Chain A
Amino acid sequence: DQQVKQNSPSLSVQEGRISILNCDYTNSMFDYFLWYKKYPAEGPTFLISISSIKDKNEDGRFTVFLNKSAKHLSLHIVPSQPGDSAVYFCAASAYAGGTSYGKLTFGQGTILTVHP
């Protein structure tokens, strides 16, 4: 039962253009969402997050959009740079009693390649 899905295994984008990475979830209890970037044999690096009370959050070149009715979120990177090439994971957590008890549920990841 995959509760968080990233249906595109890979995405190729030209430098300077927009990269859009998508993520869908099925568990309506999820109310906090995060995006991580990961290089092989390294730990994930936090990029940006969004709470379910918002529909958009921006941080520099990164913007995350949340559509709760569609159970869909997306990460926009503008402009894309070659250094952005990595695997991107979306993750979700559900809060009960004020904590998620440390559990993130991850998608399978999308490999982003930004060409110079």
Chain B
Amino acid sequence: KAGVTQTPRYLIKTRGQQVTLSCSPISGHRSVSWYQQTPGQGLQFLFEYFSETQRNKGNFPGRFSGRQFSNSRSEMNVSTLELGDSALYLCASSPGAGRETQYFGPGTRLLVL
């Protein structure tokens, strides 16, 4: 089975711009979770989508949003970028129920200038 894929792998934006990141889960997985990794805060949960619905949300401002399509692919959007949004953004997929293991993609490295 192909793993989780994320595009783009690297991105450079300027403050105030917006960005959209894409994630394709493992085939058959219906849950997609997004995480932000920074040196200061570590790996933090952003939100999770299951069957096109956001089921859970972490403690991030409303500038961070996402969506999921009927094929389980997911996108996350960050509007009005700030310097502090520079991070590695990771998505992970799992079947969506029970005690599950999440499998991570390679991440998108976002640099905000």
| Interface, chain A (partner B; CB < 8 A) | 31-32, 34, 36, 41-46, 49, 51, 89, 91, 93, 95, 98-109
Contact = CB atoms under 8 A, between A and B. Distances in A.
Contacts of B42: 106-109
A89 B98 CA distance: 21
B104 A103 contact: no
A104 B90 contact: no
Contacts of B48: 101-103
The range of chain B's interface size is 20 to 34
Contacts of A45: 104
Interface in B85-108: 88, 90, 92, 94, 96-107
A103 B103 contact: no
A42 B99 contact: no
A44 B31 CA distance: 17
Contacts of B106: 42-43
A105 B41 CA distance: 12
11 contacts: A43-B6, A44-B43, A95-B98, A99-B96, A101-B48, A102-B48, A102-B94, A103-B48, A103-B56, A106-B35, A107-B42
A103 B97 CA distance: 12
A43 B107 contact: yes
- Looking at B43, B49, B97, which has the most chain A CB atoms within 10 Å of its CB? B43
Nearest to A49: B101
B13 interface: no
A54 B5 CA distance: 33
B80 to A, nearest CB: 25
A99 B105 contact: no
A102 B4 contact: no
Given A98-B98, A102-B48, A109-B42, A44 B104 contact: yes
Most A CB within 10 A of own CB, among B32, B92, B99: B99
